[in-house]
Amino acid sequence: MNEKTILEFANDLGISKKKLENELAKLKRKGTLLGTLIGGVRYLNEVEQDTIKEWVFHEKEVPHKVPKKSTELGSEFNFFKNQLEEKDKQISMLQQALDQQQILTKQALDDKQQLQLELTENQNKNFWKRLFKK
């Protein structure tokens, strides 16, 4: 087999070892672990070298994004516009729910204060007044 270390392979490609290690780390995050670790040195076989060339340098062959057509931009605009309108409706509904909750909380606090007043008045009455409810 024609195994190469990362340094040898990077030199063959004409890039730095660090750049190749960064590209291997990106591939690892995508779920592809390449190379065999032997004695603390990572070796790449021919298939792995070809895979790296495909994955790493294929992406870099396209220098710029192709500009989108105006119809695509229009449909994208409409999609985002509809999405924004839907979010506005959701915000409005949440605001109404918040207003209702605040009203209910205020009513509950008022009821609690009224009950505390009645309780205080009842505790202030003496035994005979409470008995005869005058």
* 94, pLDDT greater than 70: yes
Dmax (CA) of the chain: 107
* 132, pLDDT greater than 80: no
Where helices occur in the chain by DSSP H, the ranges are 6-13, 17-29, 46-61, 70-124, 127-132
- DSSP letter assigned to residue 125: S
Name the token pair of 77: 């605009």
What's the residue count for the chain? 134
Angle between helices 6-13 and 46-61 (to 10 degrees): 40
Name the token pair of 103: 């009203």
Considering only CA atoms, which of 104, 93, 12 is closest in space to residue 57?
12
pLDDT of 56-68, one tens digit each? 766 544 333 444 5
* 74, pLDDT greater than 90: no
CA-CA distances (angstroms) from residue 21 to 9, 24, 27, 81, 114? Answer: 11, 5, 10, 43, 72
* 131, pLDDT greater than 50: yes
> 4 versus 64: which is more confidently predicted?
4
Average pLDDT score, the chain: 82
